[in-house]
Structure 1
Amino acid sequence: MKIEQDVIDTLEELKTFIISIENGGLGLKNVEGIGLAKNNADGRPFIAVFDKNQQLIYGRWLSQDVYDNGKDIVRNGVKHH
């Protein structure tokens, strides 16, 4: 499991990240889902990428604002216009 140190600071960055995962970006294999989580040690929010066994395979730190306001984007996916 890898948590990238770059922080996603905007909702647009969050959308771009989700689209990248959906399109097979980052070279991740066996992706089954994404969700929001908080680090048990310090409470920092991140977006988690899971495999079919619900194991965390990749993550990116989020700003608190993106964590608070991006829940619907993660839950419902990115709307393509």
Structure 2
Amino acid sequence: MIDDKELISTLDELEAFLRLVETGGLGLNNAAGVALATNNSNGRPFVAVLDDNHQLILGRWVTQEVFDNGKDLVRQGPNKAH
């Protein structure tokens, strides 16, 4: 499920989203990982929250700039204290 209404357009917004996932603030069950990806049908970039079986449980569209520059943030996780 990718929410069309919520576009992550800055690295700060991406970091806040990652922090919410990490702390359970979104109420997701079985969240095991996060990845940046592109939609197969239209190439649009998004951040994906994946379960233990690598299935998408939540996604948010991101701008191309966030996709290009947020890879290390997604790999390493948010740096700021909770």
Deviation for aligned residue 1:12: 0.2
How many percent identity over aligned positions?
A: 54
Q: How does 1:34-45 map to 2 (within 5 A)?
A: 34-45=34-45
Deviation for aligned residue 1:80: 2.3
Deviation for aligned residue 1:49: 0.3
* Paired residue total: 80
In 2: Cα distance, 1:4 partner to 1:70 partner: 19
- What TM-score do you get using the length of structure 2 for normalisation? 0.94
In 2: Cα distance, 1:44 partner to 1:17 partner: 18
The AA in structure 2 aligned to 1:30 is: N
After superposition, the C-alpha distances for 1:26-58 in whole angstroms (9 at most, x for unaligned) are 111000000010000000000000000111100
The AA in structure 1 aligned to 2:3 is: E
In 2: Cα distance, 1:80 partner to 1:27 partner: 21
Moved over 2 A (4+): none
- What TM-score do you get using the length of structure 1 for normalisation? 0.95
Deviation for aligned residue 1:78: 0.9
Query: What SS does the aligned partner of 2:7 have?
Result: strand
